[in-house]
């Protein structure tokens, strides 16, 4: 995050103070942002900070049923993650095979595309950890699990 802010700040200073812009700054900042987002997805899973709709689970009284619904939701999320991981791998491989380079910095374009593959892979590991923890933790009849 700090690197991205510094790069954008340099771009603003160069453009408005020296009337000369850096050709690479916006592209690098965009790629840093992409990596932050996809690694942040995994971090949010670890901290249980993703936005969720819990109205159905909140209406349930039985803690075991609530836990089963939570596990079902995690399984659906895991299935979507596996699909996304697979598709991201295909796209990344095709871009790598094409030899495409970014226009300003000449970075191989598979590197920015790898952010999705890598980030979703980390997310899948975190989801598996979450499922393991949820299965091992007994359902609490008195309220929260």
Which residues are CB-contacts of 105 (< 8 A; sequence separation ≥ 6)? 24, 27, 28
> What's the pTM?
0.81
pLDDT in tens, 120-136: 999 999 999 999 998 99
Residue 144 in this model has a pLDDT that exceeds 60: no
Q: What is the pLDDT of residue 23?
A: 80
Q: Is 139 helix (H, G, I), strand (E, B) or coil?
A: coil
**CB-based contact 62:112 (threshold 8 Å):** no
**CB-based contact 115:35 (threshold 8 Å):** yes
User: Domain coordinates of the chain in residue numbers?
Assistant: 33-136
**CB-based contact 10:25 (threshold 8 Å):** yes
Residue 139 in this model has a pLDDT that exceeds 80: no
Half-sphere exposure of 38 (CA within 13 A, CB side): 22
pLDDT in tens, 71-106: 999 999 999 999 999 999 999 999 999 999 999 899
Which residues are CB-contacts of 12 (< 8 A; sequence separation ≥ 6)? none
Burial 98-121 (b: 16+ CB within 10 A, else e): eeeebeeeeeebbebbbbbbbbbb
Q: Which of 26-35, 66-75, 82-91, 134-143 has the lowest mean pLDDT?
A: 134-143
- Kindly report the number of other CB atoms within 10 A of residue 72's CB atom: 11
How large is the average pLDDT for residues 27-49? 93
């Amino acid at each position: 995050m700090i690197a991205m802010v510094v790069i954008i700040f340099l771009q603003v200073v160069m453009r408005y103070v020296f009337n000369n812009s850096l050709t690479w700054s916006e592209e690098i900042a965009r790629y840093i942002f992409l990596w932050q987002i996809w690694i942040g997805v995994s971090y949010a899973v670890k901290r249980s900070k993703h936005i969720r709709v819990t109205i159905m689970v909140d209406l349930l009284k039985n803690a075991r049923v609530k836990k089963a619904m939570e596990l079902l939701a995690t399984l659906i999320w895991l299935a979507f993650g596996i699909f996304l991981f697979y598709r991201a791998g295909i796209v990344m491989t095709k871009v790598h095979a094409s030899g495409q380079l970014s226009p300003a910095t000449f970075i191989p374009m598979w590197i920015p595309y790898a952010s999705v593959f890598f980030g979703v892979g980390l997310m899948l590991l975190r989801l598996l950890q979450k499922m393991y923890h949820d299965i091992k933790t007994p359902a609490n009849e008195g309220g929260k699990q």
